[in-house]
């Protein structure tokens, strides 16, 4: 195994609302490798977006990073590595600001609203370039035009002076990608970048991103709920459910040999071409309200079709199936361990 | 072990119940729950209710009769209330004596420490009727009773008790202040009624019909909003013939004040209608074949009642201030009508005000009620969007 | 964009025209006219024998016997063609002269009030939004509410009372004695500015309260928009970010509010100058309305209204300059 670019351990992000504390991210472990693509998959509200925002320390209020470490391997100019714990950086401080945009860049879901409509595309891209490279206005502009060209925007020298509201959704997302890549980031986070686009544009943007990743060699953290997309681009996959990673492996394993009942259910719920319509199987039940998530038991248990008696008593821990495949489910835990936890629960009960 | 499972089931069950409540709560309930959290708005709501109660039961709250005066107590200063006499419970006010200023022959009032006027709650005073006697409906207006109890008063009603001082005719400021709430507060309500009708009709037409109707109404609103209202209001108010009755003047002034505040409401209604037209539930009702009128009154209007109420609450203080300003200038209501603005007319001369600062009490009432309405309206507006 | 400006300009002209109609109609409302007031005054002062045609003759002399639309037409024609606003019966002067004398101070007060409101409301609004629910936010909100609740004339009255009682002199007047009757000059203007702050503060306070709330609410909305996340993810510092993005966006609705604060400023200026007896348009309008000196009242109301409409037009232009969505539409 190569040394990971980013190693996240026990990340916890809680939202302190008037109604109570929402544990949006509750002990996430992840590794992202240099130049590889990791897909973070889950239903909406499972905490995948919040997790990715944590890497740049741009969690929104009232969310707060309460625990965990995010070790980022920063390659210094002299070729040696320096390990930075992103979790320890002040969200308003200079160190994290130097990482944002330059080391780690991000593309957001809504190209309509994530670009400012009051500034031209060029203003928004050159601002980033000048901030991190110290380029002159002219150099930054040339670089921006070059990037716009690279992402397939026609007549980039004219389009650079356009306002985003005059561009189509696909063009806007391309501009967004051009902006994100303009400082050659080591890692790119894409938070459902194709969800708001129509299907044809989706495919084009995906192809573009894969192509750019090949060219620039950056690591890609791709957040999506669309398993079709995952199949197309992922090297590794992490499946998230209610603030926890429930299964994690390489893409092949996830698709061909999923272990967690949730992953299996997810896979059954997507249509395949050779499938009859009635074979589709939606996951039954709903994601519980954030204020009444089950505690200290298996979170997925109420919706699980393979649950057994222990599931409503014991909280599963992450279990290694093999060195490249971990799953958080009692089905795969050492029976003895489960039993031990059982007796402990009795003792406490 | 059974315990744990059972406990969890109970916990989960409870959760489910509260969740269920949340899911089926009506918009009114949600609005109310959210509003309850605004402590200041709740308190202000209490203040507003109190003011209106005072207005309704003015005869009871006012220690004096409406037009009562004691001529010799011109500009008498406020008499402070003492609760104890020699350490014994004996609520009283001190009497007043005066000397003539040798130069100006003006009365100079002194507190007379010897003369203790006992006061009491629920004092006996002038008789008044409580009930529906004022209604011009036969039989209904027989429903009243007569009493002579006042919230507070001197045990001997012939003794002076000026808790907030007296005005230039020896009338009790507090009593006049209390009776003033009737006009000052109802002007707002009637005005709000008028602007509500105008606002909903024109705003609704604008939003529902659209096209050139919308355009014309929008221009109209722009014009009304860009005209400086005060000079126009002054001009209209100045044109009121002197022989008009109080009631006629009252309604004219109310109308004038209302004419400037309907525009905001019309805009709210219009934008709501515009956005609702596209909403799913309206579309669903339309597809169900609901007639237009049902669509508007059963589905669209109720969905923003709370917004309307909030806008109205925020419009009220403007109307109260408008009446006060007009009456203060002498262009609004005139004696014998009494409102806060009419009372404040006496303060126009700064020399008078400097000698008798208690004439400014109505200002405190104005500021209190306007603040209360603003806080209340703000809370309501926040609560109007419970989702 | 030119189309937008042209459209706004047309609206402005149209609005001014409507206002002139309303003004003229409202001025005509009181029963009788100045001539009847004059006649009754003459009778009261002992002239019991007036020629039988006297009233008719005076009316004919001033054109008051003509139908109202003819009077309106002549009034407008004289204003547009000659800049003449008619004759004041009370002051026995041209209405125009009185306006030239009184209006500049009114403009100055209103203009400075706008500046005052902006200078206070903008930074406080931004601060309150960024530090939402902080002690300062609550304090500003409370002060704002009080500013909103104390009507201009009461504020003026209270200040007047305090200055009279504790400073031995009422702060009345806009000019030092030296300049009171002097013609307009730079020195007189400077003298005016020095006296101006009292009415400006009084008038500005209520407007400030409203605008602080507007700015705070606008900015709170904008702070949660995704483009702010984008800007933050670029590595901009919080301050640069705030000013370059959300504040810039929140300014748009803020600017369009100038349109609606102007009428209330004018109203505030009127009533405050009546209370403080300032030599501005307020007292003149008030007196001319009471005495049915119609051309003076109508002239003042027309000019003040036109100015507010012009102010709205200017705010529309600024909006177009600031917002590319309007500029490029």
**What is the DSSP track for C221-263?**
HHHTSHHHHHHHHTT--HHHHHHHTHHHHHHHHHHHHHHHHHH
In A, which residues are within 8 Å of B19 by CB distance?
289, 292
Contact yes or no for B373/B358 (Cβ under 8 A) = no
Give the Cβ contact number of residue C27 at 10 Å.
Answer: 26
Closest chain B CA to residue C138: B40
Contact yes or no for B286/B208 (Cβ under 8 A) = no
Closest CB from C234, C248, C324 relative to A127: C234
Provide the pLDDT confidence category of residue B10 given band limits of 50, 70 and 90. very low
Checking if the pLDDT of A60 tops 60, the result is: yes
DSSP B299: I
CA B80 to chain centre: 27
Q: What's the CA gap between B179 and B64, in Å, rounded?
A: 10
Q: What's the CA gap between A149 and A151, in Å, rounded?
A: 5
Closest CB from A114, A120, A163 relative to C230: A114
Q: What's the CA gap between C23 and C14, in Å, rounded?
A: 14
Q: Which of A13, A238, A274, A219 is nearest to A104 (CA)?
A: A219
Establish, for the pair of chains A and C, how many residue pairs have beta carbons separated by less than 8 Å. 76
Which of A18, A20, A289 would you mutate first to test chain B, the one with the most B CBs within 10 A?
Answer: A289
Q: What's the CA gap between B12 and C202, in Å, rounded?
A: 59
Tokens of B179: 């009776």
Closest chain A CA to residue B20: A289
What homologous superfamily does CATH list for B178-383? MetI-like (1.10.3720.10)
Domain residue limits, chain A: 4-241, 244-347
What is the DSSP annotation of C280-313? SHHHHHHHHHHTT-HHHHHHHHHHHHHHHHHHHH
Residues 6+ apart with CB under 8 A from A110: A196, C226
Closest CB from C157, C290, C301 relative to B231: C301
Closest chain B CA to residue C259: B226
Instruction: State how beta strands A318-322 and A325-328 pair.
Output: antiparallel
Checking if the pLDDT of B77 tops 90, the result is: no
* Per-residue pLDDT at B2: 38
Residues 6+ apart with CB under 8 A from A51: A8, A11, A13, A25, A28, A30, A40, A240
> Could you identify the residue written with the tokens 């504040």?
C247
Whether C8 is in a domain gets the answer no
* Per-residue pLDDT at A53: 92
Closest CB from A289, A292, A349 relative to B4: A349
Q: What's the CA gap between A98 and A89, in Å, rounded?
A: 11
Ranges of beta strands (E only) in A92-235 are: 104-107, 187-191, 219-224
> Is C308 within 8 Å of chain B by CB?
yes
What is the DSSP annotation of B147-216? EEEEEEEESSTTS---SS-B-TTS-BHHHHHHHHHHHHHHHHHHHHHHHHHHHHHHHHHHHHH-HHHHHH
Give A184→chain C minimum CA distance, Å: 12
Chains contacting chain A through 3 or more C-beta pairs under 8 A: B, C
Closest CB from B1, B3, B19 relative to A289: B19
In C, which residues are within 8 Å of B350 by CB distance?
157, 160-161, 164, 170
What ipTM describes this predicted complex? 0.86
Which of A17, A309, A312 would you mutate first to test chain B, the one with the most B CBs within 10 A?
Answer: A312
Q: Strands across the sheet with A318-322, in order?
A: A104-107, A187-191, A219-224, A37-41, A236-241, A244-250, A325-328, A318-322
Q: What's the CA gap between A233 and A210, in Å, rounded?
A: 7
Whether C314 is in a domain gets the answer no
Is B238–C161 a contact, with Cβ atoms under 8 angstroms apart?
Answer: no
Instruction: State how beta strands A4-17 and A20-33 pair.
Output: antiparallel
Domain count, chain C: 1
Q: If interface means Cβ-Cβ distance under 8 Å, which residues of chain C face chain A?
A: 224-227, 229-238, 244-245, 248-249, 322-325, 328
Give A178→chain C minimum CA distance, Å: 13
In A, which residues are within 8 Å of C323 by CB distance?
118
Checking if the pLDDT of B62 tops 60, the result is: yes
CA distances from A180 to A89, A103, A138, C11, C314 (A): 22, 10, 19, 45, 39
* Per-residue pLDDT at A342: 57
Closest CB from C224, C227, C238 relative to A116: C227
C171 φ/ψ angles, rounded to the nearest 5 degrees = -85, 80
In A, which residues are within 8 Å of C236 by CB distance?
97, 127, 131
> Is C202 within 8 Å of chain B by CB?
no
In C, which residues are within 8 Å of B357 by CB distance?
161, 165
> Is B224 within 8 Å of chain C by CB?
no
Q: Which of B163, B146, B196 is nearest to B313 (CA)?
A: B196
* Per-residue pLDDT at C194: 73
Q: What's the CA gap between C105 and C100, in Å, rounded?
A: 10
In C, which residues are within 8 Å of B374 by CB distance?
145, 148-149
pLDDT in tens, chain C (329 residues): 788 889 889 888 988 898 888 888 887 776 666 677 677 777 777 666 667 677 777 777 767 777 888 888 888 898 888 888 888 878 888 889 999 888 888 888 888 898 899 899 899 999 999 988 889 888 888 888 888 888 888 888 888 888 777 766 555 666 766 676 777 778 777 777 777 888 898 888 878 888 888 888 889 889 988 999 999 999 999 999 999 999 999 888 788 777 778 888 888 888 888 888 888 888 898 888 887 788 888 899 888 888 888 888 888 888 888 888 878 76
Tokens of B85: 């006499």
Give C27→chain B minimum CA distance, Å: 6
- Residue numbers of B between 27 and 46 with CB closer than 8 Å to A: 37
Closest chain B CA to residue C268: B230
Provide the pLDDT confidence category of residue A41 given band limits of 50, 70 and 90. very high
> Is B291 within 8 Å of chain C by CB?
no
pLDDT tens digits, residue range B80-132? 877 877 778 878 877 777 777 777 777 777 777 777 787 778 878 778 888 77
Checking if the pLDDT of A70 tops 90, the result is: yes
Q: Which of A293, A242, A199, A209 is nearest to A39 (CA)?
A: A209
> Is A17 within 8 Å of chain B by CB?
no
Tokens of B242: 């002197």
Longest dimension (CA), chain B: 97
Q: What's the CA gap between A103 and A114, in Å, rounded?
A: 20
Contact yes or no for A96/A89 (Cβ under 8 A) = yes
* Per-residue pLDDT at C29: 73
Closest CB from C227, C238, C244 relative to A114: C227
Give A313→chain B minimum CA distance, Å: 8
Establish, for the pair of chains B and C, how many residue pairs have beta carbons separated by less than 8 Å. 130
Residues 6+ apart with CB under 8 A from C58: C35, C38, C64
CA distances from B386 to A292, B37, B106, B373, C53 (A): 20, 12, 61, 20, 72
CATH number at residue C156: 1.10.3720.10
Strand partners, A107: A190
**Listed ranges A190-199, A236-245, B39-48; the one with the highest mean pLDDT:** A236-245
In C, which residues are within 8 Å of A179 by CB distance?
234
> Is A303 within 8 Å of chain B by CB?
no
Q: What's the CA gap between A158 and A181, in Å, rounded?
A: 20
pLDDT tens digits, residue range A139-186? 999 999 999 999 999 999 999 999 999 999 889 999 999 999 999 999
Is B231–C11 a contact, with Cβ atoms under 8 angstroms apart?
Answer: no
Is C235–A132 a contact, with Cβ atoms under 8 angstroms apart?
Answer: yes
> Is B1 within 8 Å of chain A by CB?
yes
Q: What's the CA gap between C37 and B86, in Å, rounded?
A: 65
> Could you identify the residue written with the tokens 């003042």?
C300
b/e per residue, C249-279, with b = 16+ CB within 10 A? bbbbebbbbbbbbbbbbbbbbbbbbbbbebb
> Is B242 within 8 Å of chain A by CB?
no
pLDDT, average across residues B357-379: 88
Q: What's the CA gap between A68 and A47, in Å, rounded?
A: 15
Is A349–B1 a contact, with Cβ atoms under 8 angstroms apart?
Answer: yes
Is C328–A118 a contact, with Cβ atoms under 8 angstroms apart?
Answer: no
The CATH code belonging to domain A4-241 is 3.40.50.300
Closest chain B CA to residue A309: B5
* Per-residue pLDDT at A315: 86
Angle at which helices A121-133 and A169-181 cross, to 10°: 10
> Is C165 within 8 Å of chain B by CB?
yes
Q: Where in the sequence of chain B do the CATH 1.10.3720.10 domains occur?
A: 178-383
DSSP A100: B
* Per-residue pLDDT at C124: 92
In B, which residues are within 8 Å of A292 by CB distance?
12, 15-16, 19
Give C165→chain B minimum CA distance, Å: 6
């Amino acid at each position: 195994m190569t040394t990971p670019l980013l190693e996240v351990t026990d990340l916890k992000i809680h939202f302190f609302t008037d109604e109570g504390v929402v544990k949006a991210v509750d002990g996430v472990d992840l590794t992202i490798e240099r130049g590889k693509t990791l897909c973070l998959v889950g239903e909406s509200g499972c905490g995948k977006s919040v997790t990715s925002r944590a890497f740049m320390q741009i969690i929104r209020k009232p969310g707060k990073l309460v625990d965990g470490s995010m070790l980022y391997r920063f390659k210094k100019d002299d070729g040696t590595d320096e390990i930075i714990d992103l979790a320890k950086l002040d969200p308003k401080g200079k160190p994290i600001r130097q990482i944002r945009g330059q080391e780690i860049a991000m593309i957001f879901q809504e190209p309509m609203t994530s670009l400012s409509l009051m500034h031209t595309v060029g203003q928004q891209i050159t601002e980033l370039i000048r901030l991190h490279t110290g380029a002159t206005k002219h150099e930054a502009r040339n670089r921006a035009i070059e990037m716009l060209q690279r992402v397939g925007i026609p007549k980039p020298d004219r389009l650079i002076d356009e306002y985003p509201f005059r561009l189509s959704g696909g063009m806007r997302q391309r501009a967004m990608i051009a902006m994100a890549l303009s400082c050659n980031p080591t890692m790119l986070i894409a938070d459902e970048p194709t969800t708001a686009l129509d299907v044809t544009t989706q495919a084009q943007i995906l192809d573009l991103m894969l192509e750019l990743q090949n060219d620039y060699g950056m690591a890609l953290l791709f957040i999506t709920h669309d398993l079709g997309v995952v199949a197309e681009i992922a090297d590794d996959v992490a499946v998230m459910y209610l603030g926890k990673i429930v299964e994690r492996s390489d893409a092949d394993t996830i698709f061909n040999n999923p272990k967690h009942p949730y992953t299996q259910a997810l896979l059954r719920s997507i249509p395949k071409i050779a499938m009859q319509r009635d074979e589709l199987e939606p996951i039954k039940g709903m994601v519980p309200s954030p204020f009444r998530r089950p505690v200290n038991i298996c979170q997925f248990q109420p919706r699980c079709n393979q649950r057994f008696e222990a599931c409503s008593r014991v909280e599963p821990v992450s279990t290694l199936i093999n060195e490249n495949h971990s799953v958080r489910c009692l089905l795969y835990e050492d029976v003895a361990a489960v039993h031990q936890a059982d007796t402990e629960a009795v003792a406490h009960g | 072990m059974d315990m744990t499972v059972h406990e969890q089931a109970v916990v989960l069950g409870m959760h489910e119940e509260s969740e269920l409540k949340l899911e089926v709560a009506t918009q009114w309930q949600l609005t109310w729950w959210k509003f309850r959290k605004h402590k200041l708005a709740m308190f202000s709501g209490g203040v507003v209710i109190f003011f209106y109660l005072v207005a309704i039961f003015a005869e009871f709250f006012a220690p004096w009769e409406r037009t009562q005066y004691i001529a010799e107590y011109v500009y008498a200063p406020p008499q402070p209330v003492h609760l104890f006499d020699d350490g014994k419970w004996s609520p009283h006010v001190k009497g007043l004596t005066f000397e003539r200023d040798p130069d100006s022959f003006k009365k100079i009032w002194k507190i007379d420490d010897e003369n203790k006027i006992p006061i009491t709650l629920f004092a006996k005073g002038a008789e008044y009727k409580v009930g529906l006697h004022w209604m011009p409906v036969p039989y209904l207006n027989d429903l009243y009773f007569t009493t002579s109890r006042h919230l507070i008063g001197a045990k001997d009603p012939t003794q002076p008790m000026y808790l907030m001082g007296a005005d230039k005719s020896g009338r009790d400021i507090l009593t006049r202040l209390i009776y003033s709430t009737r006009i000052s507060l109802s002007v707002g309500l009637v005005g709000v009624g008028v602007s509500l009708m105008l606002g909903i009709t024109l705003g609704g037409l604008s939003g529902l019909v659209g096209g050139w109707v919308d355009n014309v109404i929008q221009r109209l609103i722009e014009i009304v909003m860009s005209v400086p209202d005060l000079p126009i209001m002054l001009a209209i108010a100045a044109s009121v013939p002197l022989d008009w009755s109080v009631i006629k003047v009252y309604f004219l002034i109310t109308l004038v004040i209302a004419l400037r505040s309907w525009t905001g409401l019309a805009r709210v209604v219009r934008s709501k209608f515009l956005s609702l037209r596209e909403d799913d539930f309206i579309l669903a009702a339309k597809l169900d074949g609901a007639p237009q009128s049902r669509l508007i009154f059963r589905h669209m209007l109720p969905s923003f009642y709370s917004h309307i109420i909030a806008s109205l609450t925020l419009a009220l203080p403007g109307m109260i201030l408008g009446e006060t300003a007009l009456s203060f200038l002498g262009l609004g209501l005139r004696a014998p009508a009494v409102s806060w603005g009419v009372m404040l007319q006496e303060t126009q001369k700064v020399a008078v005000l400097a000698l008798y600062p208690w004439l400014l009490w109505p200002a405190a009432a104005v500021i209190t009620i306007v603040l209360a309405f603003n806080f209340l309206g703000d809370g309501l507006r926040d609560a109007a969007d419970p989702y | 964009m030119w189309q937008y400006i042209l459209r706004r300009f047309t609206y402005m002209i149209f609005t001014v025209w409507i206002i002139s109609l309303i003004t003229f109609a409202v001025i005509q409302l009181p029963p009788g006219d100045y001539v009847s007031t004059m006649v009754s005054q003459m009778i009261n002062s002992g002239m019991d024998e007036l020629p039988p045609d006297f009233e008719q003759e005076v009316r004919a002399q001033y054109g008051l016997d003509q139908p109202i639309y003819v009077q309106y037409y002549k009034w407008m024609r004289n204003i547009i063609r000659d800049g003449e606003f008619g004759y004041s019966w009370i002051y026995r002067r041209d209405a125009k002269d009185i306006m030239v004398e009184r209006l500049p101070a009114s403009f100055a007060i209103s203009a400075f009030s706008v500046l005052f409101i902006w200078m206070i409301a903008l930074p406080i609004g931004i601060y309150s939004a960024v530090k939402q629910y902080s002690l300062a936010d609550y304090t500003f909100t409370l002060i704002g509410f009080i500013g909103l609740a104390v009507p201009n004339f009461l504020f003026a009255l209270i200040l007047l009372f305090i200055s009279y009682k504790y400073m031995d002199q009422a702060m009345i007047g806009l000019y030092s004695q030296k300049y009171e009757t002097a013609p307009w000059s730079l020195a007189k203007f400077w003298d005016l500015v020095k006296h101006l702050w009292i009415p400006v503060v009084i008038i500005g306070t209520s407007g400030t309260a409203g605008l602080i709330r507007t700015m705070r609410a606008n900015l709170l909305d904008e702070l949660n928009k995704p483009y702010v996340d984008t800007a933050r993810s670029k590595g901009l510092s919080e301050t640069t970010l705030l000013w370059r993005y959300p504040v810039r966006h929140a300014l748009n609705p803020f600017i369009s509010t100038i349109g609606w604060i102007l009428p209330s400023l004018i109203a505030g200026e009127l009533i405050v100058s009546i209370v403080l007896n300032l030599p501005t348009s307020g007292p003149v309008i008030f007196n001319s309305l009471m005495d049915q000196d119609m051309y003076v009242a109508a002239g003042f109301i027309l000019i003040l209204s036109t100015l507010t409409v012009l102010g709205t037009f200017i705010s529309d232009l600024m909006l177009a300059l600031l917002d590319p969505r309007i500029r490029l539409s």
